[in-house]
Amino acid sequence: MTSHLAAEAVNELGLELHRGLPGPGNRLLSPLSIQLAAAMAFAGSAGATREEMNRVLHFCGDETLAAFDALVAELRLGLASDDLLSLANRLFVQRGYDLRPSFLALVATHHGSAPEEVDYRATEPARARINGWVEEETANKIRDLVPHGVLDETTRLVLVNALYLRAAWQERFHTAGTSLEEFFVEGAQPARVPTMHQKVHCGYAKKGEHHIIALPFAGGAMRFVAFVPNEKDGLAALEASLDGRALSRAARIPIMEAIVWLPKFRIEPPALALAKALRELGLKSAFDDPRGSADFDAMAPRRPDDYLFLSEVLHKTFLALDEEGVEACLFVGRVADPR
């Protein structure tokens, strides 16, 4: 089974992007959604661009697509029958633009995605169609994802991944136990926020200067993991100490009975443009830096004056956590333009 390779890639890239995003304020990322969209682009990459994507995104070469297939299958099996994991991929391609049949077959096999033709010369209708599809796939939680100015008549392809998760706690919190409690914003400013309170069975461990709790979802195979610093101003040190192995170990800590206080919240940060952060991690030739270096010949024939490259990566998220469980919507769009 190769799912652990995909899980490691998700954890490593997620932490690297998290550290590279500007602050302060809430940061909400879905590295799984980002990686699934990246895997579609990786399937069409070639040469040095493929080698670079494999290294920077922590992929596993020719096993990458199979590894993510296995990870998604495990996630679906880990949910209870009443829960939902909706995951959809779609290629929105310029009408009349020829993608290689081998690439389309690969994406259809591993991502279940068929291309949909749009006309980017009519930019607003194309943008409306993509945004409408995202709304449909995320239960109308994410709207107007692609902003004005991202698409234009030169756009040839938008690769989209949309993920919607609704999962109930294995032991749901009693609403009577929710009360206003003090929470420190940025480790300094106190605020009174709705906080759930209950004795539950969950994973718990104390590691140095922080605590870890892992709340099981119904079915028991999946957990919501939270890292909590000992001190109210200890978040920066905690973030700096994390790595992919720490995230993997946290999901497997022993179950015990514990009294849990957990803020109830709903956040929907603005859409993120991730191209700059990815380039700073070393993903450059995919964005045609330096000019002429992008190689997606396995996606569409590369000609000296007409070849694909990534121009932007858009990411939008929504997360709600309450007494019943967790609801999350996540979207990634990769825009490919021609030179």
* Contacts (Cβ under 8 Å, ≥6 apart) of 152: 120, 123
Provide the pLDDT for residue 161.
Answer: 82
0.75 surpassed by pTM:
yes
pLDDT in tens, 124-136: 999 999 989 888 8
What share of the chain in percent tops pLDDT 90? 51
What residues make up the domain containing 178? 168-265
**Do 257 and 288 have their domain in common?**
no
Q: Is the pLDDT of residue 171 over 90?
A: yes
Taking residue 95's Cβ as centre, other Cβ atoms within 10 Å add up to 12
Q: What is the mean pLDDT of residues 160-165?
A: 84
Taking residue 125's Cβ as centre, other Cβ atoms within 10 Å add up to 12
Number of domain units in the chain? 2
pLDDT in tens, 229-284: 998 888 888 988 898 888 888 888 999 999 999 999 998 888 888 999 999 999 99
Least confident window among 144-153, 232-241, 281-290, 306-315: 144-153
Q: What is the mean pLDDT of residues 153-177?
A: 90
CATH number, domain at 195?
2.30.39.10
Say if residue 54 is exposed, middle or buried (CB neighbours under 10 Å; 0-12, 13-18, 19+): middle
Which pairs with CB-CB distance under 8 Å and at least 24 residues apart come from 131-137? 133/90, 133/92, 133/160, 133/162, 134/160, 134/162, 134/331, 134/333, 137/86, 137/88, 137/162, 137/164
Which of 265, 287, 308 terminates a domain? The answer is 265
Q: Is the pLDDT of residue 61 over 90?
A: yes
**Do 254 and 271 have their domain in common?**
no
Residue 114's nearest CA partner among 136, 86, 91 is 91
Provide the pLDDT for residue 196.
Answer: 96
**Do 161 and 179 have their domain in common?**
no
CATH number, domain at 317?
3.30.497.10
**Do 272 and 292 have their domain in common?**
yes
Confidence class for position 200, pLDDT limits 50, 70, 90: very high
**Do 209 and 284 have their domain in common?**
no
